[in-house]
Structure 1
């Protein structure tokens, strides 16, 4: 049992609280009903003066104002939190999309580099084959020049202008 206020005078003993289950209805002398939630089934106020009731009512009005203010602040904080959560989710989704793009681009670059490396190796092989072919042609040309010089020495060619033209053409090809 809870008592609000203190006993002052036994002549002012009016019960102003009606109890119904956990809900208590406080009826003030100036007709201001107020609901109190009690933990127990009985809540009584005895011998309360009008000034005590007014002070209590003033306190309750202040508490109600604080509760309203707290609710407004809570609603603001909740809205800010929901906005923050939504923005965070948008950013997380954007980061996931960007991560996927980065992974895809990295994979594409690696594939392209692999293809280029294969192409470079193929071209290097072709260059090596062409270099070997050129070396073989040079050796063959040296052999032909040597054999032709032997042939010329054995068979004394008298028309040297044609010979000089052929040698000049061979040298042009060689260069």
Structure 2
């Protein structure tokens, strides 16, 4: 968050970022759209977010890794459950997209947490960081164990 010496324009910009405001520049759809995407898109915000964005780069990267890990889990689960490739593709395309949106949309709403006071903000950030780093680790371990299990099953069939 900004310090007490921040200018009024910086405070207004950060307030707009906290509330997910799309219209920052007057009457310019292109700039508004790019501003919105670069600050709210789960991938673009890691690279293009405004320096006054309430999430720091590490936090945005953790949210991205969390989303990618969940996408990996969806693909792995659909691959295991579906009996053939056509149904796998359908499950990944339809069910996977809906589940991914349900996972990512609440994540984008966490930016509202940036308006909390400093102590609560630090506590929330530490918990989110722990969760965001634990989920990818858990999914990687699950994927490795599942791969080993499938390899063992394949060898036993031969």
Higher relative contact order (CA 8 A, sep 6+): 2
Q: Pick the structure with greater CA Rg.
A: 1
Normalized against structure 2, the TM-score is what?
A: 0.29
Q: More strand by proportion, 1 or 2?
A: 1
Q: More helix by proportion, 1 or 2?
A: 2
